Structure 1
Amino acid sequence: MAPRGPGRHRRPLRDRAQAGRLAALTCGFPLVCRIASAFLDSTGINVLLTVHQQVRDAQAWLRIAAPTDNVQRVLTLIGVDAVIPCHSTLEEALSI
C-alpha cells in the first residue's frame, strides 16, 4: 500500500548537516527556493529557517519564489515571510 497524505511526495532536507552543505554550495551566491508544493508543514518551515541561517552565515541570501497560495498563507501566518523575502515570481526574486 502506498503512503497517503500530503507528505508522501516530499523529500525534505531532514537535518542541519544537509542544510549546511546546501549553504556551503552557494559560496556567496544567491539561493532561490521555489516551493511548488501545495503543502508546507513544520518540517518544511524548519528546513527553510535552517537553510536561511546557514546561507546568511555564508554571506549569501535566500529568497522564496512563487510559492503557492496555501504555502504563502502559511509563511505569512507563521511570520517566515518577515525573515525570508517571498516574491510572486522567480524573475522578481532574482532581480532584486
Structure 2
Amino acid sequence: MNQLIYEKLPSDISERHVLLMDPVLGTGNSASQAIELLIQKGVPESHIIFLNLISAPEGIHCVCKRFPSLKIVTSEIDLCINEEYRVIPGLGEFGDRYFGTDD
C-alpha cells in the first residue's frame, strides 16, 4: 500500500469545493487515497470534483463505487489497464513526459 509522503492543505479546506487533479486515472487507488484524505479533513464527498486527462474504465468504476457522490471529469476513456497497471493505449508515463525524463 502507498504511503502519504506530504500533505499541505488550507486550514479551512472543509469549507471549500475541491478540484482534485491527476493526469491519468488508471486503477483508481491513488485517487481513492487522495479523496479519502480530503474526506478525513472534513470535505464533503459531494464537494470534490476529480479532474483528469485520460481514464481507464477500471479506475472510474473503482472511484465511483467507493465515492458515489463525487464527480469525475475526464477528456477521454481509454480501453483498459494492462498487467503493469498502465492505461492502454494511454500516453506513456506522464511524469516522464512532463519532467523530460528519458529511460
TM-score (norm 1): 0.46
Structure with greater strand share of residues: 2
Write 1 or 2 for the structure with the bigger share of helix. 1
Normalising by the residue count of structure 2, what TM-score does the alignment of the two structures yield? 0.44
Which protein has greater RCO, CA pairs closer than 8 Å, 6+ apart?
1
